[in-house]
Amino acid sequence: MVSEQNQSLMKMLPELLNIAEQAGEAILAVYNASKGDVSGSVPSDNIAFTLKGDDSPVTQADYAAHKVIAAGLSRITPDIPQLSEEGEIPPFNERANWAQYWLIDPLDGTKEFINRNGEYTVNIALVEDHQPVLGVVYVPVKKVFYYGVKGVGSWKKSCKGAMLITARTVGEHEALKVVASRRHGAEEVEKMISEAEKVFGCVEKVSMGSSLKICMLADGSADWYPRLALTSEWDTAAAQAVLEAAGGVIYDAEFNPMECNRKDSMLNPYFHAVADGSYDWKSLVDRALNH
């Protein structure tokens, strides 16, 4: 039975999907404008960007999407604070007292956006008591949504309609599918994959950008995403909500459930996103790293 709280979250979804789609349209407007137009300007594949203090790139599309999302959330939930990658980050002594807040990455996968491979997303999460309880991930170039509500379920929505999605069980497919970043490989990850090959025989590695890696676990397309490189909480929270509502889980490096807003830094610990939380991933990882 769906709780009253979860019913209220479900009622917000249509508005949230609309906000995410509008943010996607703002992103695509920048994307398409950088190609030139039919008025005679010279087409260009270059998307202008600047570097932030942490050397990560930011574009006009990031800021445009941020404005759309901030305005939309302020309209539908004026009393819920917002924490966005492209907004001001309140000091921890202020946000530590938030029981509920929106956690937003207006354009996750900015490098993918700049390189025009389409693997970038709009991420909107509602966090309660340090856990993402609702998440919307939107893929602008494909017009595809992934969304989930804790205790209810997760869906993938395209032009064909919305479909309930469920994370898959280890061993129910011929190969264990490991999804990884296009840019952040690590020697330790290769050791883990080698150990997985000893256990499962066949391991398939797939590269993907942005939070789509976690969404692949949620929709049954992959089994494991080991992340041994830096990410921020806004990179993962929305997809974490989708994955966990679909039956998966994200563990930190010590294999405790990953939480948000526990410290001053917005950086995540290294983590393991898995489709099947009943499998003993910790033992596999320990064997790989201790041999």
What is the three-state SS of the chain? CCCHHHHHHHHHHHHHHHHHHHHHHHHHHHHHHCCCCCCCCCCCCCCCCEECCCCCEECHHHHHHHHHHHHHHHHHCCCCCEEECCCCCCCHHHHCCCCEEEEEEEEECHHHHHCCCCCCEEEEEEEECCEEEEEEEEECCCCEEEEEECCCEEEEEECCEEEEECCCCCCCCCCEEEEECCCCCCHHHHHHHHHHHHHHCCEEEEECCCCHHHHHHHCCCCCEEEECCCCEHHHHHHHHHHHHHCCCEEEECCCCECCCCCCCCCECCCEEEECCCCCCHHHHHHHHHHC
Q: Rounded to 5 degrees, what are φ and ψ at 13?
A: -55, -45
Is residue 280 annotated as involved in ligand binding? Answer: no
Answer yes or no: is 109 a known binding residue.
Answer: yes
85 marked among binding-site residues: yes
Q: Does 166 appear as a known binding residue?
A: no
Please indicate if the annotation marks 110 as binding a ligand. Answer: yes
State the binding site for substrate. 85, 107-110, 235
Annotated binding site: 85, 105, 107-110, 235
Give the residue ranges of the annotated binding site for Mg(2+). Answer: 85, 105, 107-108, 235
